[in-house]
Amino acid sequence: MDPAGRGSGGHGEQTLAGRRLLVVGASSGIGEAFSRAAARRGARLLLGARRADRLEALAGELGALTRVADVRREADCGALVEAARTGLGGLDALLYATGITPLLPLARTGAAGWQEVIETNTVGACLVARAALDVLEPGGLVAFLSSDSVGRPRHGLVPYSASKAALDEAILGFRREHPGHRFMRITVGPTIGTEIASSYDSELAAELFGAWLAEGFMTERMMDVAELGELLADVVATVLAHPGISVSDLTVQPPGGRLSAANRSADDFVQGLPPNRGGS
């Protein structure tokens, strides 16, 4: 590897040869795309999520290890990291790509709705990161996927934004209390090819579409999940190749502007949603 970390993949790709990575939320979307890109760059991977069939199929392709885990269970969060310690011999980096975005208008959201989103997006992230503190190499990297909706909560998605705002604050706290490791917040904009909207009720989504346009939520373009996975693998490789530098914040967004009512209808939008898999 050269000093800038280039070397394995050609076309300017950064190498992850020999790096040990835990990807939580690897069974679909950005976590899956990142895992594919990281494996191609030579990483040794442990993949975690709830859907065993999806994890096994991906791990078979990539030559990775798996651990089925529900991050809403504290013991599962510790077991994920323990599996990385025993299976990979330690960790150089962890990507927390787990997340859910249920449509929850505030007037209809009770304790169970709040608990599910906060436990998945915030508490799970903190429990996995806590477990990893003793397993990560000194200077190891913990990267979390946050959202460009923080500070700009959208109709029907306020619990989601609140969970990511709390995650952002926790990341600041991890940096303060654990300066021996590096904690990166990756603020993600609209990305297509993931399953994040697969729990949406299409009637409610169509109802909220007008408000989302007015709020500037909808963008003309979306990032392609495979391309985003490639970029994130290059970023993680670059950061690991430069242990003396902490890259605290990264924002990834599609180029272009916001969508106006004139160029997309609610029907088009609902038809473009991923197939419903019965809630997260």
14: left (phi over 0), alpha (psi -120 to 50) or beta: beta
Q: Minimum Å distance from CB 71 to ligand NAP? A: 4
DSSP-assigned beta bridge partners for residue 44: 20
Distance CA 23, CA 243 (A): 20
Contact 121, 97 (CB under 8 A): no
Site for ligand NAP, rule CB under 6 A: 25-31, 49-51, 54, 69-72, 97-101, 120, 145, 147, 188, 190-191, 194-196, 280
SS (H, E, C) 1-33: CCCCCECCCCCCCECCCCCEEEEECCCCHHHHH
Q: Minimum Å distance from CB 191 to ligand NAP? A: 4
* Residues belonging to the active site: 160
Helices and strands counted in the chain (H then E): 9, 9
Q: Minimum Å distance from CB 94 to ligand NAP? A: 14
Our CB check for ligand NAP shows the closer of 16 and 123 to be 123
Q: Which tokens go with 274?
A: 């991923």
Contact 158, 223 (CB under 8 A): no
Q: Minimum Å distance from CB 146 to ligand NAP? A: 7
Our CB check for ligand NAP shows the closer of 242 and 264 to be 264
